[in-house]
Structure 1
Amino acid sequence: MDPHRRARVTRSEAGGSRWEVATRELPAGLRAHVRGLLGYSEAAALPCLRREFPLPQVVVIIEFGPPIRVHDGDGTPSRYAGGFVAGLNDCWTETGHDGAQAGIQLNLTPLGARLVFGVALSELAGRVVHLDDLLPRAHRGLAERLAARPDWDDRFDMVESFIAARLAEARLEVGTVAWACRRIEASAGAVDIGRLASELGYSGKHLIALFRDRVGVPPKLLARLVRFDHLVRRLKWGPQTTWAALAAEFGFADQAHLTREIRGFTGVTPTDARALLGDLTFG
């Protein structure tokens, strides 16, 4: 194996929890469709509840340990033994466990998820679905096979092979929406959607229909999620600055607009959202 592609494992301990996180550089052929791939295990002295923020990605959790709880908008918990897929959403999600969790988190681009799972992403938008319900018969039981592998590199090899095989089998044309998504990402969500439709020669209605199938949400909501994603990364890794300066930097009308957007996506104030960023699992 290329030594640059070996898994990097970090271990940490804080607040009564012990973490192990494994990451590895993605092969070039998958980078257009995969935003991130990591392995994780956590042991905590007490039950844990976390608030996950919405981002422009489809999250796939493949679980080796006890299934975590995923809470719906009313706070009702559900468990998905073996793992689940969470489609694009415009609202936060709360997840919890009773003291232990382990598995692999795969963050797919929306188009990557459309190709890998072969279903219209409108069926996943705002929903959490059991992983096995979306896998072809030949790939069901993926969690059990991964858990039996001896180390993170073997597990990553299996996940990457699964993704590559599904992409090779896909026959859906996604070039037009891929071009539009690249424009939205390049502008950090600031692109004019009406102009984008005109450049493609489509009506706004037709572009929205394409996005609902290939992405799961209309292009305007994707643009908002992309802008929020850029803001989150700025808050996590950029220099400290004022909320007014951030509003101007990311194209919000004013600080009040930025505050409304953060509250809508996270359910908390901007200051509280910043404090929660260090505890995100689905990032």
Structure 2
Amino acid sequence: MDPHRRARVTRSEAGESRWEVATRELPAGLRAHVRGLLGYSEASALPCLRREFPLPQVVVIIEFGPPIRVHDDAGVASRYAGGFVAGVHDCWTETGHDGSQRGIQLNLTPIGARLVFGVALSELAGRVVHLDDLLPRAHRGLAARLAELADWDDRFDMVESFIATRVAEARVEVATVAWACRRIEACAGAVDIGGLAGELGYSGKHLIALFRDRVGVPPKLLARLVRFDHLVRRLKSGPSATWAELAAEFGFADQAHLTREIRGFTGITPTGARALIGDLAFA
């Protein structure tokens, strides 16, 4: 194996909690469809509850250990033994475990998820679905097969092969919406959707219909999520800045607009969100 493609494993401890995170460089052919792929293992003395922020991606959790809890908007918890798929959403989600979790997190672009799962992403938007319910018969039980493998590299090989196979088998046309998504990403969400539809020669209504199928949400909401994603990354690793400076940098009308957007996506104040962003280990 190419040494640059070997898994890098990081282990850390804090008090009575221990983490292991494994990552590996993605093959070039998958980078258009995969935002991130990592293996994780966590053990703690106490139960854990985390608030996950919405991002412009479809999250696939493949579990080897006890299934984690996923709380809906009413706070009702569900478990999905073997794993689940969370579609694009515009609201935070709370997840928890009783002291341990282990598995793989696969973050797909919306277009990548459309190709891998072969269903209109409007069926997944704002929802969490059991992984096996979205897999063809040949790929069901993926979590159990991954759990039996010896190391992270073998597991990553299997997941990458699964993605490549599903993308190669896909028969849905995604080039138009993929181009529009790249434009939105390149502008960090600051794009005129009406102008984008005009460039494509489509009505706004037709573009929205295409996005609901290929992405799950309308292009305006995707652009807002992309802008929020860029803001989150800026807060995680960029230089310090005031909220007013960040509002100007990311094209918000003013600081009050930025505050409303952060509250809407996270359910907490900007200051509270900033404190949690550093703990988004699996984002």
TM-score (norm. length: structure 2): 0.99
How far is 1:228 from its partner? Answer: 0.1
Partners in 1 of 2:59 and 2:42 — Cα distance? 18
Match of 1:156, SS state, is: helix
How far is 1:16 from its partner? Answer: 2.6
1:196-211 matches, cutoff 5 A: 196-211=196-211
Partners in 2 of 1:13 and 1:225 — Cα distance? 32
Q: What corresponds to 2:85 in structure 1? A: 85
Partners in 2 of 1:271 and 1:15 — Cα distance? 25
1:242-261 matches, cutoff 5 A: 242-261=242-261
Match of 1:275, SS state, is: helix
Unaligned runs of 5+ in 1: none
Q: Please provide the CA RMSD for this pair.
A: 0.6
TM-score (norm. length: structure 1): 0.99
Partners in 2 of 1:224 and 1:16 — Cα distance? 38
How far is 1:272 from its partner? Answer: 0.3
Partners in 2 of 1:173 and 1:279 — Cα distance? 37
Q: What corresponds to 1:10 in structure 2? A: 10
Runs of 4+ in 1 over 6 A off after TM superposition: none
Partners in 2 of 1:91 and 1:14 — Cα distance? 29
Q: What corresponds to 2:225 in structure 1? A: 225
How far is 1:15 from its partner? Answer: 4.3
Q: How many residues align?
A: 283
Q: Does 1:241 align with 2:241?
A: yes
Q: What corresponds to 1:94 in structure 2? A: 94
How far is 1:281 from its partner? Answer: 4.4
Q: What corresponds to 1:113 in structure 2? A: 113
How far is 1:14 from its partner? Answer: 1.6
Identical columns (%) = 89
How far is 1:278 from its partner? Answer: 1.9
Match of 1:279, SS state, is: coil
Q: What corresponds to 1:279 in structure 2? A: 279
Deviation string 1:255-281 (CA, Å, 9 cap, x unpaired) is 000000000000000000000012224
Q: Does 1:76 align with 2:66?
A: no
Match of 1:107, SS state, is: strand
Partners in 1 of 2:208 and 2:225 — Cα distance? 16
Does the 8 A contact of 1:52 with 1:282 survive in 2?
no
Deviation string 1:71-95 (CA, Å, 9 cap, x unpaired) is 0000000000000000000000000
Match of 1:153, SS state, is: helix
Tell me the amino acid that sits aligned with residue 44 of structure 1: S
Partners in 2 of 1:199 and 1:11 — Cα distance? 48
Q: What corresponds to 1:170 in structure 2? A: 170
Does the 8 A contact of 1:52 with 1:281 survive in 2?
no
